Chains A and B, each alone.
Chain A
C-alpha cells in the first residue's frame, strides 16, 4: 500500500534540509503557496462542520442567531434531545444503530460470500452474473418505491413484524442492496494468491474452511473499511425511511431529525445541530482511524481493476 510508504518518507528529516537554504521567495514559489491553497481548502471543508457544532452549543438555537463562533455556550439542546422532550431521540438513535449495523454487516457478509464464489470458482453464468450485478446495482431502489410499498404492505398482512411502519420491515428493504460491495471485495480476493487456498485444500480443508480461516482473516482491514462505508451509506438513507417509518417510535435519526427541522426550521436548528453532532462525531473519528484503508480502498477498484 502506498500511504504508509509515503508517511515514512515524510517523517525522515533529510528532505527538509534543503528548505533552510532556500530563500523565502523560492520557498514560497515552490511550497509556500501550497499551504495557502491548503488552508483555503481546509476552511471550505470545515466551516459547515464548525457551524453545526456552534449551532448546537448556541442556546438561542435559531438560524438568525447562529454564527460560526458562538457567543454563549450551553448544552441546552443536548439536554432537551436526550430527555426526549422533542421526540424519542434515544429511540431513534437505537433504531438507527440497529438498522445501520444489521444492514451494513449483512451487506458486507453476503457480498463477501458472493465475492468468494466469483473470485475462486469457475461456473456457468459467472461472467454474465458479474456484469448484470453491476447493471442492477445502478438502478436506484427509489425508482420502484411504489412497488416496494405495495409489496411490504402485502407482506405486513401475513407477517405484521415485516409490514409498513416497522423497523424490521424497513431493514429488509435495505437488504435488497446486499450484493452492493461484491465488485470491490472481489478485487481484494483476487489479490490473495490462489496457492494459499490450494495448499489448504491439499491439507484437507473444505471450501468453507478455506473461506473462513484463510481468506477472511487476510482481508479484515479491508472488510472493516467496507463495513464503515456501507454503514455511513445506510445512515444517510432518507427517502425510503420517510415513506415507510411514519410513527415516532419507529423513525431513524435521518427521518426523525428531518421531521424536527421541517416542523419549525428556524427554531429547531439548535436541536437538529445537537443531534447531528452526536451522529457526526463518531463517524468522523472512525474515518480518521481508518483513513489509510479508506484511501487504499477507494482507489483499489480503479487501479487494480
Chain B
C-alpha cells in the first residue's frame, strides 16, 4: 500500500478485499455449475417450470451479486426466491388447474394415456421371455410411482422402465445384483417382498411399454414377462384398434373429459388425460344447486366461526387483562405467566387433546359436568365445541396484546379522567376502551383472517363432522378450506380441477379480506 493513496481509495480497497472477491467468484461459480448440471436433467424430464425457476434465479443471482449495485436487491433476493417459488408459483399453477379436468386418471398427457392403454392389453404368449423383477420407487412404497428393474437371467443385462418411461437398458455396473436379482438401484428405494405383496394388486395393472406392439407385465412378485399387445394406436386416424377383433375406439367427449370410446359412446378405458375444460369447473360451482348451496353454507359458517373466534377470544382476553392489570393485585405476574401457557402449547397437541374431551362416553367434559351430550354427533354442539376449543387456544394471545396495550396507555390520561370526576368504570369504558381498540384493531382483523383459513382447528378436532347422511363434501363444521381438502382428497375420488376452482374462489375472498384489513390498518396508509 503506497502512502499516496487518498483516504477514499483506501476505503474502497478496504471493502473489496481479496477474500471477498474470491468468495464472490466462488459463489457465482457454484451457481453456474448447478445450472450446467441440472438444466440438462430438467430438459430430459421435460420439467419446464423448474427449468424456468433454475435459469431465472441464476440470472437474478448474477445480476444482483456480481456488481456493487442493487444493494436492496441483494438483501431481498433470498427470501423473495422462496416466496416466489413455493408460494406464488403454486397459486398461479392452481389458477391454471382450475381450468382443467386434473384428477385421478387424468394426470398425464394423452401420449401417456395411450401408452398405458396399449401396454395394458398385453397377452402372454407361450415362448415369452421372462425376467427377474425388482420393484423400486422414488415416491412412497405404498403409493408409488413404481418402477420395474429387470434382469435377463441368461445374459445378465439390466433394464428399467415404468408406466410412463418405456423400457431401457441400463449399465449393469450401476446397480447391485445379488442372487440373480437387482437389489439396489441408483435412484429410489427397492421394495422388499412384504411391501411388494402389499401393492401386488396395483402392480398387476402396471405395464411397461417396450415398443409399439409389446410390453412388460409382472407375472408374480419377482418375475415379469414380455408379451405382445392386442391393442394398437393408429396415429393418423387417432384411434385405437383391437388387432384381434378389429374393433376401433375413437376419441370422444364424455362429460367434460375426452376418452377413447367404443361404438356405444361410453369410455372403453378408464385412462384419460389432462385437458382444458374452460370455465366448466366454475360453472359447476355456481350452477349446480347442491354444490352452490354447500359452498354458501360453508362460507356462512366460515364467517361465523372466524368472527366468533375473534370476538370470544378478545372479550375474554381483554376482560382478564382489565381485571388483572390492577397495580394493587398481588401475584399479577404469576397470573400472567400461567395464562400465557395455552399459547405455548403447540396447536396440534391442544386440538387433539380437546378432541378427547368431547368423547360422549368417557370425555372429560361430559364426565365432570355430569352430562351425556353427543358433542360431535350434533351439528350445533359440534360447532360450540369448535368455538370453545378455539377460545382456549386463542384467549392468551388476546390477553397478552390487551395487557401490552393497556400498559402503553399513558397514566396521565386516566389521571385526567379521574380529575374530571369519572369513576373507575367510566374511565375504563370511555377512555381506556377506545384507546385500546384503536391499538389492537389491526391485530383483530389479522386474527380474523387467520381463523378464516384455520384448517387445523377443524380437521384435527371434528374432521368436519358430523356429516349429514349421504353427504360427503361438507360436514356441519367444515369451513371453506377444509371443504376444499375434502373435495381434493376425499373419498369420492380426487377432483383436483374442481378443488382448484374452489381454491381460487377462496383466494379471491381472502384478497377481499386483505383489502379490508389494509383499510383498517392506519399504519399502511403511510408506509415509511
A binds B: yes
Binding site for B on A (CB under 8 A): 2-3, 5-7, 9-10, 15-16, 19, 30-31, 34-35, 37-38, 41-42, 44-46, 48-49, 51-52, 62-64, 66-68, 110-111, 113-114, 116-118, 121, 123, 126-127, 129-131, 133-136, 138-148, 150-151, 153-160, 163-165, 172-173, 175-179, 182, 190, 204, 206-207, 211, 232, 235-236, 238-239, 243, 246-247, 254, 257-258, 261, 265-266, 269, 272-273, 276, 279-280, 283-284, 286-288, 291, 294-296, 298-299, 301-303, 305
Q: A146-B94, A284-B341, A298-B404 are in contact. List 20 more A-B contacts (CB 8 A).
A: A9-B327, A38-B324, A45-B338, A51-B364, A66-B364, A67-B367, A131-B524, A134-B524, A141-B90, A144-B503, A145-B488, A151-B90, A151-B93, A156-B138, A179-B79, A258-B352, A284-B345, A299-B440, A302-B441, A303-B404
Query: CB-CB < 8 A to B523: which residues of A?
Result: 305
Q: Does B326 contact A (CB under 8 A)?
A: yes
Across the interface, do B332 and A157 meet the contact criterion of CB distance under 8 Å? no
Contact with A along B322-363 (1 / 0, CB 8 A): 011011111111011111111111111110111011010111
Interfacial chain B residues near A35, Cβ < 8 Å: 329, 331
Q: Is the interface of B mostly helix, strand, loop or mixed?
A: helix
Contacts of A140 in B (CB 8 A): 453, 455, 481, 510
Q: Smallest distance from the beta carbon of B399 to chain A beta carbons, Å?
A: 8
Docked-complex contact A51 and B353, CB < 8 angstroms: yes
Q: Smallest CB-CB separation from A296: which chain B residue?
A: B404
Q: In the complex the two chains form, is B83's CB within 8 Å of A165's CB?
A: no
State whether the Cβ of B1 lies closer than 8 Å to any Cβ in chain A.
no
Contact between A121 and B72, CB atoms less than 8 A apart: yes
CA distance A145 to B453 in the complex (A): 14
- Interface: B175 (CB within 8 A): no
What CA separation (Å) do A31 and B324 show in the bound complex? 9
Q: At the interface, yes or no: B417 with Cβ under 8 Å from chain A?
A: no
In the assembled complex, the CB of B263 is this many whole angstroms from the nearest CB of chain A, namely 36
Residues of A contacting B187 in the complex (Cβ-Cβ under 8 angstroms): 160
A-B contacts, 16 of them at CB < 8 A, read A52-B353, A63-B359, A110-B82, A118-B72, A131-B527, A133-B83, A138-B449, A140-B455, A141-B86, A144-B91, A154-B47, A246-B143, A284-B345, A291-B340, A295-B400, A298-B443
- With A258-B348, A301-B443, A302-B443 already in contact, the answer to whether A294 and B79 are too (CB < 8 A) is no
Q: Are B323 and A154 closer than 8 Å at their CB atoms?
A: no
Q: Give the chain B neighbours of A266 by CB distance below 8 A.
A: 362
B439 touches A303 (CB 8 A): yes
* Contact yes or no, B79 A182, CB < 8 A: yes
Residues of A within 8 A of B11 (CB): 204
Contact A165 to B72, CB < 8 A, known contacts A41-B339, A114-B79, A158-B47? no
Expressed in whole angstroms, the Cα–Cα distance for A177 and B503 within the complex equals 19
CA distance A302 to B314 in the complex (A): 15
Residues of A within 8 A of B38 (CB): 158-159
Inter-chain CA distance A130–B523, complex, in Å, is: 12
Q: Which residues of A contact B87 (CB under 8 A)?
A: 136, 139, 141, 144, 176-177
- Tell me if B460 counts as interface (CB < 8 A to partner A): yes
Cβ contacts under 8 Å, B139 to chain A: 153, 156, 163-165
Cross-interface CB contact of A15 among B327, B342, B354, B506, cutoff 8 Å? B327
Inter-chain contact B339/A238, CB cutoff 8 Å: no
Compute how far the CA of A42 lies from the CA of B396 in the bound complex, rounded to whole angstroms.
Answer: 11
Contact code string B423-467 (vs A, CB < 8 Å = 1, else 0): 000000000000000011111000001000101100110000000
Closest 10 CB pairs of A and B: A176-B86, A299-B404, A144-B90, A305-B523, A147-B93, A110-B79, A117-B75, A147-B90, A236-B347, A2-B407
Residues of B within 8 A of A305 (CB): 522-523
Q: Are A284 and B344 in contact (CB under 8 A)?
A: yes
How far, in angstroms, from A305 to B4 measured CA to CA in the complex? 50
B42 within 8 A of A: yes
Task: Give B463's nearest chain A residue, CB to CB.
Answer: A262
B440 to chain A, nearest CB (A): 6
Docked complex Cα distance between A247 and B142 (Å): 9
Shortest CB-to-CB span from B228 to chain A, Å, is 30
B59 within 8 Å of A (CB atoms): no
> Using Cβ atoms and an 8 Å threshold, which residues of chain A touch B350?
48
A158 touches B485 (CB 8 A): no
Question: Is the CB–CB distance between A136 and B352 below 8 Å?
Answer: no
**Which of B118-126, B212-220, B511-519 is the contact stretch?**
B511-519
Residues of A with C-beta under 8 A to B442: 301-302
A138-B513, A147-B97 known; A232+B342 contact, CB < 8 A: no
Q: Which residues of A contact B323 (CB under 8 A)?
A: 34, 37-38
Q: Give Cα A135 to B453, complex, Å.
A: 14
Residues from chain A with Cβ under 8 Å of B367 in the complex? 67
Residue from A2, A129, A235, A303 with most neighbouring chain B CB atoms (10 Å): A303
